[in-house]
Amino acid sequence: MADRTTTRTARTKSAIFGAAEKLFLDHGYTGTSMDAVAELAGITKQTVYSHVGDKESLFLEVVDRMTGGAGDSLAARMVPPATVSSAEAYLVEFAEQQLEIVLTPRLMKLRRMVIGEHARFPALGQMLHRRGPGRSIARLAEVFETFAQRGLLKTGDARRAAVYFNWLVMGEPTNDAMLLGDDLLPGNAARRAHAEECVRIFMAAYGS
């Protein structure tokens, strides 16, 4: 009985967050009501409140789940740096995977929404940065320290090098998509070429 209850609760929450994500991304915080979330999820409004609290809590949780999910996906795809023989090959793969995971219409909508709601929810920007680029930079800094210890890179300040690499990879394509629209999101070939060029530039400064 307990397992069935847990499964039912998980399904209900999944429906709520799925509906809330779509509505918040399409209509923003102000334009989304808990009635609409309940209707789209196929449950009662009372059930929504009992599982997630109020609208503000639901909104913050949706943003947290979306940003954290992207980071989880990237971490799951990458091999442990201790097993790597080529820093250059690893970084090309890392950059390409990061571009594929982050540069999606869904996450670009999220970024625009967070910027639009910054005055109402100043903590949102901090959350997105911590769970998004902040997490990526922290992971890269650990990788660079490992590579430096193994003689694959000469980074000095590993975190500083991670900051430079992260924004070398993400800066231009993210800004293009944010400001000029999702049509500017790069395809597979463009992502690969951009990743290779960014790594070439980075290795010119930090390669062993």
With cut-offs at 50, 70 and 90, classify the pLDDT of residue 125. Answer: confident
Q: Mean pLDDT throughout 91-118?
A: 91
Select from 1.10.3720.10, 2.40.70.10, 1.10.10.60, 3.40.50.2000 the CATH code of 1-53.
1.10.10.60
Domain spans, the chain: 1-53, 55-206
Q: How far apart are CA 179 and CA 198, in angstroms?
A: 22
Specify the DSSP element, H or E, that contains 74.
helix 55-77
pLDDT at 80: 75
| DSSP for 145-192, written as a single string | HHHHHTTSB--SSHHHHHHHHHHHHHHHHHHHHHHH-GGGS--HHHHH
Mean pLDDT of the chain: 90
Report the CATH number of the 55-206 domain: 1.10.357.10
Q: pLDDT-derived band of residue 123, with 50, 70 and 90 as boundaries?
A: confident
The answer on pLDDT for 124 being more than 70 is yes
Mean pLDDT of 83-89: 90
